[in-house]
Structure 1
């Protein structure tokens, strides 16, 4: 009886666990996704960050390897073949690096490691900016779908009002044809907005590492736009931007390579210590020697010249990075301030006024005070204002993402 009850208990436990997992998945899907959560998911799951992290780990290991001394060489040599007339030599050859080669090699490896670390930080910052852009593109696409749905509903309301006035003989049937055309245009716009939303959700889902078909996004009001930071403060941040810092590290790395090529011009010495036995004399004697290359044909001059040229190029790249950071931040700052101001103006003044005009015009048409063309104009003005509002918000968030891409977040997560 105990075994049978246990057999019944196991499926029950499995079923309970399955139901719990399914409930957890449904709960996770039902929770709206906000911007901080999207950034955290992308930072955790995106393969580009994992690849950069592996490269940073590999570069750190290369620094340790660069500090290793060269291995000694064990040599065995026999001269002669007849017993009693042979000479046997056993020796150890140890290369001795001169000219600071080991320190130069370590400096090159450290420079490469710092570059890999900067690349990881740059990818993380770029991914953050991409998520900000994609998140608000999806959010605005949601709003445009809702706007298009409202347009279709209002077009249906207008068509019903026109049909009633046509049936009463108060307006021409041509007005009904205009209303049907307006309704068809609204449906086409709804289909376009729905397709754009699907594309935006797919792009955001690729960044955060999960499908977002059934998950809502949280946020998106105009007032959620952060205030613009003064340009002078942004330019101060530009001096320490990751792109500028990486260019500076690239210059240090190239200079370390030039130092390594300069050190390579100094020949290394090989120290030999061993023992030699002469069978004919029946005695053993010590062997000590030094070997040094003669730099007659190769003094590493071309490699040194190439390294110096690359160092000069890295210095020019640093100047270009500083210029790009300043000009890019200035342009993004101007775009953000303009788009944010436009979005606030449309949200608090233009859109409410256009909505009021549209409602009054539609009511007046029902009482015969306006032509249906006036209704269409008021409706078009209202929805164009809403569309401009969402476009201004999207422009502002994209400029904000560009600021974070160039200068990083004002308060890093």
Structure 2
């Protein structure tokens, strides 16, 4: 038994050394600053540029914003003037005293009218349109920030799943080679069936993990391509860039940025401004509009009686409709103002949750780099040495390999989680944490 363990253990030493060299390099790269790394392939900046240029939802929202802008000019404009024309059928063929009527052979009535709203109504209509246009602009900004955050989150997931695939395939290769050695020893009668079953079980689990990760990559690719307005199965390049989120300022600074720059919150305030102006306009409708009329009436024989000028006003009687409209406008204004407070609380809650996720991920990253991975490496070396000396079971080697695998996967996942949490924080603070310059049109 000692002789067999020595043979297998010697092989494991060589394989472990070969496996730990790329692992050490990977961990070193993870620890390097962004400026010291090669940036190739599929970058988050390139993905975001594509999304902002090609996403149809953002294009639709931009068009809606342009439409709102155009409505500002017309909101405060006067109504179209009206022209009324009438004839007296019984006068056809009569001796018409006017030259025009005599030429046409009929008496006519022509009237031009123009409606003038009560003072202040046009201004309030313009204010409503301006506030709605501002809200539309802010909705566009909010959607753009959502897409930027989504792009960063999905890019981090794409990086993480490929890191996990690389790590798992190294494990698959190691387990496959271990299985061959133990299988040979077992066939010659110098190995244990239990060792062979253990390494086969670990290899099957690694094979299944590879399938799971491939399907995860497929789902991430579909989400990314949807944002890019591309076919869901369109190929994506791998990414070599390490997730490098910006440093977080103090919580008080982030809260201040949220108050000042979050477009959803600012948009809710603009909607409240529109509701306030609409409420004022509803109350202003208790005052009548004025219609000025200028007409020419050929029913009069005397020429000095034919030109007529007049004024008409509507009588703003209630009959329950005006008080109901005013009550509705009050409710809408109060609803809009309440929405601001509700949204404000929601955003603060989301910010606190994102900060918590970022702190948790940072702790996991430090734990993996400083303790879990070094300890797992030492444990694997020790368990292999003990097995070689015949003082430990092969299961210890398998467990140590699994612990190192899990630590490496945890580091990758935590780096992606931190990047994603910072992307969400950036969205909540209006892009001030992680400014992005869109180079498209």
Fold shared by both chains (TM-score > 0.5): yes
Match of 2:284 in 1: 263
CA spacing shift, 1:280–1:167, aligned 2, 3 Å: closer
Of structures 1 and 2, the one scoring higher in RCO (CA 8 A, sep 6+) is: 2
- Scaled by the length of structure 2, the TM-score of the pair is 0.81
Separation in structure 2 between the aligned mates of residue 294 and residue 115 of structure 1, nearest angstrom: 35
- Identify unmatched segments of 5+ residues in structure 1: 1-29
Q: Does 1:111 align with 2:134?
A: no
Match of 1:412 in 2: 435
Separation in structure 1 between the aligned mates of residue 316 and residue 171 of structure 2, nearest angstrom: 83
Q: Does 1:331 align with 2:340?
A: no
Deviation (angstroms), 1:362:
3.1
Match of 1:387 in 2: 409
CA spacing shift, 1:360–1:135, aligned 2, 3 Å: same
Deviation (angstroms), 1:287:
0.5
Within 5 Å, which residues of 2 pair with 1:123-162?
123-162=143-182
The root-mean-square deviation of aligned C-alpha atoms, in Å, is: 2.3
User: Which SS does the other structure have where 1:287 is aligned?
Assistant: strand
User: Which SS does the other structure have where 2:180 is aligned?
Assistant: helix
Separation in structure 2 between the aligned mates of residue 370 and residue 276 of structure 1, nearest angstrom: 117
Match of 1:370 in 2: 392
Pick from 244, 256, 277 the counterpart of residue 236 of structure 1: 256
CA spacing shift, 1:230–1:237, aligned 2, 3 Å: same
**Is the 8 Å Cα contact of residues 159 and 238 (structure 2) preserved in structure 1?**
no
**Is the 8 Å Cα contact of residues 40 and 240 (structure 2) preserved in structure 1?**
no
**Is the 8 Å Cα contact of residues 108 and 260 (structure 1) preserved in structure 2?**
no
**Is the 8 Å Cα contact of residues 179 and 199 (structure 2) preserved in structure 1?**
yes
Deviation (angstroms), 1:297:
4.3
Q: Deviations over 1:305-348 (max 9, x none)?
A: 11111100111111112212222212211220121121122034
CA spacing shift, 1:67–1:367, aligned 2, 3 Å: same
Deviation (angstroms), 1:87:
5.5
User: Which SS does the other structure have where 2:306 is aligned?
Assistant: strand
Within 5 Å, which residues of 2 pair with 1:350-365?
350-365=372-387
Q: Which moved more, 1:343-352 or 1:231-240?
A: 343-352
Q: Deviations over 1:61-106 (max 9, x none)?
A: 1111213211111122344724248864322111111142211111
User: Which SS does the other structure have where 2:77 is aligned?
Assistant: coil
Match of 1:403 in 2: 425
Separation in structure 2 between the aligned mates of residue 276 and residue 120 of structure 1, nearest angstrom: 55
Separation in structure 2 between the aligned mates of residue 225 and residue 350 of structure 1, nearest angstrom: 23
Match of 2:205 in 1: 185
Q: Which moved more, 1:228-237 or 1:386-395?
A: 386-395
Q: Does 1:202 align with 2:211?
A: no
Pick from 82, 89, 106 the counterpart of residue 109 of structure 2: 89
User: Which SS does the other structure have where 2:298 is aligned?
Assistant: strand
CA spacing shift, 1:66–1:361, aligned 2, 3 Å: same
Q: Does 1:300 align with 2:322?
A: yes
Deviation (angstroms), 1:385:
1.3
Deviation (angstroms), 1:49:
0.6
User: Which SS does the other structure have where 2:109 is aligned?
Assistant: strand
- Identify unmatched segments of 5+ residues in structure 2: 1-38, 97-105, 437-441
User: Which SS does the other structure have where 1:81 is aligned?
Assistant: helix
Separation in structure 2 between the aligned mates of residue 163 and residue 80 of structure 1, nearest angstrom: 113
Within 5 Å, which residues of 2 pair with 1:13-162?
32-79=41-88, 81-82=90-91, 83-84=94-95, 88-162=108-182
